[in-house]
Structure formats: C-alpha cells, structure tokens
Amino acid sequence: MRDDAFFLKEIISQCDKIRSRIDTFGDDEEDFASNEVFQTSCAFHIIQIGEAVNLLSSELKGEHPDIDWKGITGYRNIIVHNYGGVRIESLWISITKEVPELKETCERILNNP
C-alpha cells in the first residue's frame, strides 16, 4: 500500500488544487464556461488525477470496485487527446461533484487501509 498511499495522496492533492481554482475563480458555471484559464487549469488537474489513478495497483482498484477507475483514466484520455471535444458542462460536473466525491473516497481508503 506504500506506493498506493503516495498516489492516493497525489489524487487528493490534485482534488484540493481544483477546489482552490474554484475558490479563486468562483463557484459559478457561467463564469466557468466563459473563462478559458479556469477551464484549462481544472482540466490539467484532472489529467494529473488520471495519471495517478493509472499508477495505482490493480489490487487496490480491485478492492474498491465502487470507484469508476477506468472512467477516470478514460476522461483523462479524452481531455489529453481531444480537448476540443470536451463539453464544458461535463467538465463542470466533474470538478464540482465528482472530484469532491473522489477526494472523500481516497481519504477514506487512506484512513482505513
């Protein structure tokens, strides 16, 4: 779990950075939709989350099938390889709903190995 703990902490850190961007730019979907810097910053951190998820052990992922690990890495791939095709509404939902849930889950896994 040592390596997994490192990558779980990295995921949590990236989630915190997304929260920081929301605190800086505002918690308004319309502002998000009109601010490319806000969008790009959050997308970067989602990419980093996807990278860290890729590095988690298969064992840990298998122990937590309730988390859509493949979906997380898949979304990372969509952003990296087809950013123009990413719907802003989808990115907004990710950063405001899914990222906080992922952070909470990763913290729970770390605290209950």
Quick: pLDDT tens for 28-42.
999 999 999 999 999
pLDDT at 2 over 70: no
Domain ranges, residue 66: 2-111
pLDDT at 12 over 70: yes
Residue showing tokens 């896994």 = 109
Torsion of CA 63, 65, 69, 75, to 10 degrees: -170
Q: List, for residues 51-105, the tens digit of each pLDDT value.
A: 999 999 999 999 999 999 999 999 999 999 986 678 999 999 999 999 999 999 9
Contact in structure between 110 and 4 (CB atoms under 8 Å): no
Number of domains in the chain: 1
pLDDT of residue 55: 95
pLDDT at 113 over 90: no
Task: State the Cα–Cα distance between residues 24 and 22, nearest whole angstrom.
Answer: 5
